[in-house]
């Protein structure tokens, strides 16, 4: 089993909004900062996917600096560094650790993420996630949905696509995996309405949570 991480296993958007609230306090417009940060990060990721690869931590810092300038937030260098770090280690959804743990008793459960290896290590440690191992797209210098990212995971696991189930909350991610012959399981998440499946999307499995997916498979 291959799991997407950002959005699927961890609440990236909710965690970034919470980190912004902690950084700015009650007097700051944390919602505006977090929204501008996330929007700019999406733009930078799209550009990096189409052009020269740059790691997620660089993009996140650049996006945050842009958001600070756009919203007029008052953050010094230390606060910027801390907020960038917090944005790279979002907290898991409540069902993630128990669901992944239950699946790990039966399957080799792998993380495959667009974030960095260092960020994956932090997410895994802080969230108590039982991965067999965790892979970052930086290993191939590309971002999902580039086919090279999924292909590298298959090569490292020494499996054929039909032996694998990809779990994710982003239909674009699952579509890319399916094009390589990988099975797909869709788990919707709150706050990802822009990633609602299209009418033409067909997934092998659907579940309202990772815990429910584990119950289906086990």
Q: State residue 194's pLDDT score.
A: 64
Both structure tokens of 82: 């801390």
Q: Please give the model's pTM, rounded to 2 decimal places.
A: 0.92
pLDDT digits (tens, 9 = 90+) for 187-199: 999 876 566 788 8
Low-confidence ranges of the chain (pLDDT < 70): 27, 192-195
| Structural contact between residues 88 and 39, judged by C-beta atoms closer than 8 angstroms | no
Structure tokens at 74: 């008052």
User: Of 190, 200, 196, 189, which is closest to residue 8 (Cα–Cα)?
Assistant: 189
Q: Output the CA–CA distances (angstroms, integers) from residue 63 to 56, 104, 129, 157, in the order listed.
A: 10, 35, 28, 34
Burial class (CB in 10 A: 0-12, 13-18, 19+), 193: exposed
Identify the CA nearest to 144 among candidates 123, 169, 164: 169
Q: What is the C-alpha end-to-end distance of the chain, expressed in Å?
A: 13
The phi, psi pair for 204, rounded to 5°, reads -70, -35
pLDDT of residue 197: 86
Pick from 16, 38, 2, 5: which is nearest to 114 by CA?
A: 5
């Amino acid at each position: 089993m291959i799991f997407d991480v950002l959005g699927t296993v961890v609440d990236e958007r909710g965690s970034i909004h919470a980190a912004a609230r902690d950084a700015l306090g009650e007097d700051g417009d944390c919602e505006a900062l977090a929204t501008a940060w996330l929007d700019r990060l999406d733009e930078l990721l799209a550009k990096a996917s189409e052009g020269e690869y740059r790691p997620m931590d660089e993009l996140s810092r650049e996006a945050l600096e842009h958001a600070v300038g756009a919203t007029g937030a008052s953050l010094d260098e230390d606060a910027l560094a801390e907020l960038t770090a917090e944005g790279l280690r979002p907290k898991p959804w409540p069902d993630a650790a128990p669901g992944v743990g239950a699946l790990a008793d039966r399957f080799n459960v792998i993380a495959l993420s667009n974030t960095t290896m260092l960020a994956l290590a932090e997410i895994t440690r802080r969230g108590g996630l039982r991965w067999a191992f965790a892979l970052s797209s930086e290993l191939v210098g590309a971002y999902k949905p580039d086919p090279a990212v999924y292909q590298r995971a298959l090569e490292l696991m020494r499996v054929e696509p039909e032996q694998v189930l990809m779990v994710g909350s982003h239909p674009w991610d699952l579509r890319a995996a399916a094009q390589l012959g990988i099975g797909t399981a869709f788990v919707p998440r709150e706050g990802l309405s822009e990633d609602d499946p299209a009418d033409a999307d067909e997934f092998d499995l659907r579940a309202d949570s990772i815990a429910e997916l584990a119950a289906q498979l086990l």
